[in-house]
Chain A
Amino acid sequence: MDIINTNNLGKTYLHKDGKVDAIKNITIAVEKGSFVTITGPSGSGKTTLLLTLAGLIRPTSGAFSFLEKELTHVHDCELAQFRRKNVGFIMQSFALIPYLTTIQNVMMPLALNKISKQKQKEIATSVLETVGLENRLNHLPRELSAGQQQRVAIARAMVNSPSLIFADEPTGNLDPMLAVEILDFLKEINEKNKITVIMVTHSPVAAAYGNVKIHLDKGEIKSINEKIIK
């Protein structure tokens, strides 16, 4: 079953020098449980595609759907609802709220879903144990190493048991050993929990983790699993 479908998806930015097509004619079907990697040179539209699929950017053309539910033209609130219920994010810069502790950061998505405080604590603690941060529950992000911060971000992405995790260069700020650790973890989540992962990366090592490998150039899909798209 496809979890994400796009049909000629495009995003055009208006610039003083003229229109810029960040992505164009993107038509893909992402099967549930797949590990999709999106690669391509800088400015190829990788992040724009990721953010569009996550409902954070509105496409200017085409359509996309999540579990066959059309999301292209839904209200902002519905997109937010889609994200809080079904999506987890892992960003290169970790995207943690600096004045919240590890456990508070992880509890945030649960709080948005109106889970009781007690339950929030229980779930967040258990997820943080999974990522090996049970001893860092009350640490602020600045008191953690880069690898630990990224694991907090992973815990936050997982805490709502999402069906999708979007990762934008999740290993970009990490040394190679830590990067492998994080990628292994993502793969484990993907395989064990059947969570679909869509990951943007520059790194060929990271890209190798995907079972669906999309390569973008100039906003268009050039290949899927090395099969050239014309």
Chain B
Amino acid sequence: MNLFKLVWIELWNKKTQLISSLMAIVIGIGVIVGIRTINVYSEKAVAVKLDNLGANILVLPQATSIDDYSTSDIDAPTIPMEYVEKILTSEIKGVDNLSPKLTRRITIGNKKFVLTGIQPKNEIASKPLWQNTGFGKEIQASCAPSTAENKSHGYEDEKLKRKGVDSLDYTECLLGAQVAKALNLKVKDKLKIQDKELTVAKLLVETGTVDDDRIFVNLKAAQEILGIKDQISAIEIMGCCNAISDGLLSKLRNILPDTRITTIGQIVSTQIETNKTMKKTSVIFLIIILFVGSISIGNYMWANVNERRKEIGILRMIGTYKTEIYKILLVKASILGLIGGILGYSLGTIAAYYMGPAFAQIQVSAIPIFLLWSVLISIGISITGSLIPAYFAAKFDAFSNMQEE
């Protein structure tokens, strides 16, 4: 026999009371776990979607018009090349890929095209539509969920299948599908732009975008052809979805105050907003549960303490210290919290598993770390709710039981 066993025997002998007192805490923890689990998987789904869209943030000179996101860099003024370094050295989290470029309209013969200077590997990394051209080494995604996890939830992170070009030689160019057609050029053909002769390294697949009318050359070559040294007209950034929702844009604006930073986030902004709302909702629920759970457990403990006045009196009579009475009640609260946390986590996870696909169109599975949080929160609630009853129980007169009956 010891104090822990005493608590256990008492709980075991009052199972009905135990179940009713656990209800509030189990449901409360279950709601929080359910919402948060769906929320986490929803965020992951958005991250993958956004990642698959390619570049989603555009850094442009301040005076640029951004009526059309995809062509906004064409006639833009320029910004210094060193801005790329500024971003790279800023240690801002969530910048997955940087693609500086210099773009200008040019005329070849009597036909108008767009010349874009790029840093090859970065550029291709930010263009998922080029992914099947079979260039160079594989590019690893950094902000999307891990491959195994994605696959287990049916996500296809396209970037993981992409190839990047290791280098685009100073004398080479890539041609958009429409350019190749208009100039009737094939791979290894020569193309002269102003005084510079370039070899066609690849013909890009038709994307149905403005890229089909572009001639891509090495950034340094473009700067030389256009006579704009160390300047670029835009930086395309692939930002991680969560980082964007956590204020990546404003962090970038702080580093580059004289630029215009925009995003195509509208595409996923609704989902990001939904995620934020769900996050807020789970926080609100958490606060409510903290109150309701604490009051419920406190109420149970208060009733239990009053009902057990006689027993507590007996324990005090035979020499139990006040601190031991405290301990008995707090151990009991911890056991309630532990059971409540485990059951609440299970309930919330099962609910999320079935409700995720039905209401948020996402596959959901258990998040083990939430078990730890559920138990900790649940024990915290139980102990908080039990502190006052335990304090009064320890103060009971030992003799209060003796003259009863």
CA distance A54 to B404 in the complex (A): 18
CA distance A50 to B1 in the complex (A): 29
B401 CB-CB contact with A under 8 Å: yes
Q: How far is the CB of A150 from chain B (nearest CB, A)?
A: 13
> What are 26 of the A-B contact pairs (CB < 8 Å)?
A47-B399, A56-B317, A56-B398, A56-B399, A76-B321, A80-B319, A80-B320, A80-B321, A83-B317, A85-B319, A89-B317, A91-B401, A91-B402, A93-B404, A97-B314, A98-B311, A99-B9, A99-B14, A100-B9, A104-B9, A107-B1, A108-B315, A110-B1, A111-B3, A112-B318, A112-B319
CA distance A91 to B13 in the complex (A): 24
Report if A51-B402 is in contact (Cβ < 8 Å); known contacts: A100-B6, A117-B1: yes
A220 CB-CB contact with B under 8 Å: no
Residues of A195-228 at the interface with B, using a CB-CB cut-off of 8 Å, are none
Q: Which residues of B have CB within 8 Å of A104? A: 1, 9
B322 CB-CB contact with A under 8 Å: yes
CA distance A149 to B311 in the complex (A): 15
A57 CB-CB contact with B under 8 Å: yes
Q: How far is the CB of A191 from chain B (nearest CB, A)?
A: 24
Give a binary string over A78-101; 1 marks a CB under 8 Å from any B CB, 0 the rest.
001111110101011101111110
Partner of B399, one of A51, A97, A109, A111: A51
Interface residues on A, range: 35 or more
Q: Which residues of A have CB within 8 Å of B310? A: 95
Q: Which residues of A have CB within 8 Å of B402? A: 47, 51, 91-93, 95, 168
Instruction: Flag if B398 contacts A111 (CB, 8 Å).
Output: no
CA distance A191 to B14 in the complex (A): 42
* Nearest 3 A/B pairs, CB to CB: A84-B319, A83-B319, A99-B13
CA distance A137 to B127 in the complex (A): 80
Q: How far is the CB of A119 from chain B (nearest CB, A)?
A: 11
Instruction: Flag if A80 contacts B316 (CB, 8 Å).
Output: yes
Report if A99-B10 is in contact (Cβ < 8 Å); known contacts: A81-B319, A89-B317: yes
Q: Which residues of A have CB within 8 Å of B320? A: 80, 84, 112
CA distance A117 to B2 in the complex (A): 8
Q: Which residues of B have CB within 8 Å of A89? A: 317-318
Partner of A95, one of B1, B2, B13, B314: B314
Q: Which residues of B have CB within 8 Å of A92? A: 402, 405
Q: How far is the CB of A106 from chain B (nearest CB, A)?
A: 9
- Given known contacts A99-B14, A108-B315, what 16 new A-B pairs fall within 8 Å (CB)? A54-B317, A56-B397, A56-B399, A76-B321, A80-B320, A83-B319, A93-B401, A95-B313, A97-B6, A98-B311, A99-B13, A109-B319, A111-B3, A112-B318, A117-B2, A120-B1
The closest CB in chain A to the CB of B402 belongs to: A91
CA distance A99 to B310 in the complex (A): 12
B16 CB-CB contact with A under 8 Å: no
CA distance A129 to B369 in the complex (A): 53
The closest CB in chain B to the CB of A94 belongs to: B405
CA distance A96 to B317 in the complex (A): 11
A14 CB-CB contact with B under 8 Å: no
CA distance A51 to B313 in the complex (A): 13
Q: How far is the CB of B57 from chain A (nearest CB, A)?
A: 65
CA distance A111 to B318 in the complex (A): 11
B89 CB-CB contact with A under 8 Å: no
CA distance A83 to B320 in the complex (A): 9
Report if A77-B321 is in contact (Cβ < 8 Å); known contacts: A56-B397, A98-B311, A110-B1: yes
Q: Which residues of A have CB within 8 Å of B10? A: 99
B194 CB-CB contact with A under 8 Å: no
B403 CB-CB contact with A under 8 Å: yes
A156 CB-CB contact with B under 8 Å: yes
Q: How far is the CB of A51 from chain B (nearest CB, A)?
A: 5
Partner of A156, one of B2, B318, B324: B318
Q: Which residues of A have CB within 8 Å of B6? A: 97, 100, 108, 111
Q: Which residues of A have CB within 8 Å of B401? A: 91, 93, 95
Residues of B287-340 at the interface with A, using a CB-CB cut-off of 8 Å, are 310-311, 313-324
CA distance A47 to B14 in the complex (A): 33
Partner of B318, one of A47, A76, A84, A168: A84
CA distance A120 to B405 in the complex (A): 30
CA distance A81 to B58 in the complex (A): 75
Q: Which residues of B have CB within 8 Å of A57? A: 397, 399
CA distance A51 to B400 in the complex (A): 11
Q: Which residues of B have CB within 8 Å of A56? A: 316-317, 397-399
CA distance A45 to B114 in the complex (A): 108
The closest CB in chain B to the CB of A57 belongs to: B399
CA distance A111 to B319 in the complex (A): 11
Q: Which residues of B have CB within 8 Å of A110? A: 1
Q: Which residues of A have CB within 8 Å of B324? A: 112
CA distance A139 to B402 in the complex (A): 23
Give a binary string over A7-18; 1 marks a CB under 8 Å from any B CB, 0 the rest.
000000000000
Q: How far is the CB of B326 from chain A (nearest CB, A)?
A: 12
CA distance A96 to B405 in the complex (A): 13
Instruction: Flag if B13 contacts A47 (CB, 8 Å).
Output: no
CA distance A85 to B319 in the complex (A): 8
Instruction: Flag if B319 contacts A47 (CB, 8 Å).
Output: no
Give a binary string over B1-32; 1 marks a CB under 8 Å from any A CB, 0 the rest.
11100100110011000000000000000000
Q: How far is the CB of A28 from chain B (nearest CB, A)?
A: 20
Q: How far is the CB of A82 from chain B (nearest CB, A)?
A: 8
Q: How far is the CB of B295 from chain A (nearest CB, A)?
A: 26
Q: How far is the CB of B401 from chain A (nearest CB, A)?
A: 6
Q: Which residues of A have CB within 8 Å of B319? A: 80-85, 87, 109, 112
CA distance A93 to B296 in the complex (A): 33
Q: How far is the CB of B404 from chain A (nearest CB, A)?
A: 6
Interface centre among B13, B314, B320 (most CB of A within 10 A): B314
